[in-house]
Amino acid sequence: MLQAKPLRSSSTGALAGTIRVPGDKSISHRSLMLGAVAVGETVIHGLLEGEDVLNTAAAMRLLGAQAERGGDGVWRVRGVGLGGLGEPAQVLDMGNSGTAARLLMGLVASHPITCVFTGDASLNKRPMARVTGPLEQMGARFVGRSGGRLPLTVVGSDRTVPITYRLPVASAQVKSAIILCGLNTAGTTTVIEAEPTRDHTELMLRHFGATVTTERMEDGALAVSVVGQPELTGRAIVVPADPSSAAFPAVAALLRPGSELLLPGVGMNPRRTGLYDTLVEMGADIAFENRRDEAGEPVADLRVKHGPLKGIVVPADRAPSMIDEYPILAAAAACAEGTTVMLGLKELRVKESDRLAMVADGLTKCGVKVEVGADDSLTVYGTGKPPQGGATVATAMDHRIAMSFLVLGMATAEPVQVDDGAFIDTSFPGFVALMNGVGAKIAGV
């Protein structure tokens, strides 16, 4: 258990400089997992070295793969081949990462091994039943606490069967878990999603040599299919900067007069850019420079300048492309002119914390008028100027809540304190030092 680390953020002058945001967490997890079941060596440049991803690397080693960081900062994974994962001698501790836990459950479910998954206090509260349900249909067995919560035992099978599964709720994690189980299952496994979710798993599987197709159905839904039991070959991967992490310095620059920040090499996968689309609609001055592709993923350099923001309505169908960014969007909305309405936020209830409730409570303490709708909407009433601040905000061990309110504190009249910033390193190692390096004033309490 990490010791609590209270942090205080105070109003700053202009923020200026270049921030190299750590590598994309979603892509980092997947590169380690797929490299572990590929034949040969996978070379990964720019892997996020936060606690969540390091836990995934440790889990892959326990399952039989080699995954090591070289002195040059490059990670090399020597895979065991598809179907070659071995039974771990220890519990797989996934720390704070729901993505890692759910995806890895899918990957091991098609192997005749037994694995015990656990996590920190936050992860062990999160429901896993929506992943274990379809994986049970494929032939795996699970023994866990109520709601399928961790600690949880996965009893895998080498006789899993392909299924066609329609997602009841848009979730890239559930989709990916099923696809990864289908990867080592004879036949074709299909996941149908009514709304497009992150497609990093599909893109990376194609990069490793798998056959993955996406087809539009008559009702407008997408059918994502994987042909089981291909031979995956180790590949070179360049991990883009994480767009979810880049959101924090980007919004900070938008809120502080005179600010200009350059964020190089940020992933611009269109299923991850909902926040940036929303900020531009709010009037944000964001330029997307030097657009390019790296290992199948679109990338750009972001130049962000301060400017006024206006309130808008954020449609529910945008949620899958920005589900992790609503807390920082709420901080931006608190400083915007007019009302911002965010629709379709039910998924925020089951993240690292109940993010919807946590954001509303924190903003209220900072002097912002907010409303949480019965339809899981969030309405933020901005006045066109930063709120008062002067509050201590509870984070419930949620790194994104902590970073969002530290960014808000850079603009508020009085400092904003978070009760625990220790968990920030799970996704954005070095966040405080990087932000202070461009002019922020974040300090321990």
Provide the pLDDT confidence category of residue 426 given band limits of 50, 70 and 90: confident
pLDDT confidence of residue 352: 65
pLDDT confidence of residue 347: 84
pLDDT tens for 144-153 read 998 789 999 9
- Any known ligand binding at 25? yes
- Any known ligand binding at 291? no
For the residues 212-218, what does the mean pLDDT come to?
Answer: 97
CA 363/CA 408 separation, integer angstroms = 9
Burial-class residue 20 by CB neighbours within 10 Å (0-12, 13-18, 19+). Answer: middle
pLDDT tens for 236-284 read 999 999 999 999 999 999 999 999 999 999 999 999 999 999 999 999 9
pLDDT tens for 8-23 read 999 999 999 999 999 9
Burial per residue of 365-378, b for 16 or more beta-carbon CB atoms within 10 angstroms, e otherwise: bbbbebeeeeebbb
- Any known ligand binding at 351? yes
- Any known ligand binding at 324? yes
> 7-23+240-444 belongs to which homologous superfamily?
Enolpyruvate transferase domain (3.65.10.10)
Residues 30 and 54 sit within 8 Å (Cβ to Cβ)? no
- Any known ligand binding at 26? yes
324 included as an active-site residue = yes
pLDDT tens for 345-386 read 988 886 766 899 999 999 999 999 999 999 999 999 999 999
* Phi, psi angle pair for 81, to nearest 5°: 85, 155
Share of the chain above pLDDT 90, in %: 90
Residue 45 in this model has a pLDDT that exceeds 80: yes
pLDDT confidence of residue 320: 86
Provide the pLDDT confidence category of residue 197 given band limits of 50, 70 and 90: very high
- Any known ligand binding at 5? no
Cα separations in angstroms, 442 against 80, 341, 402, 405: 44, 29, 12, 11
Which among 343, 194, 218, 219 has a CA at the least distance from the CA of 274? 343
**Cα 271 to the chain's mean position, in Å?**
12
Q: Judge if pTM exceeds 0.85.
A: yes
CA 124/CA 96 separation, integer angstroms = 9
For the residues 307-319, what does the mean pLDDT come to?
Answer: 96
Q: DSSP code of 2?
A: P
Q: DSSP code of 245?
A: H
Check 199, 242, 324, 425 and give the catalytic one.
Answer: 324
For the chain, where do the domains classified as CATH 3.65.10.10 start and end? 7-23+240-444, 25-238
> What topology is assigned to 25-238 in CATH?
UDP-n-acetylglucosamine1-carboxyvinyl-transferase; Chain (3.65.10)
Share of the chain above pLDDT 70, in %: 99
- Any known ligand binding at 346? no
* Phi, psi angle pair for 431, to nearest 5°: -55, -50
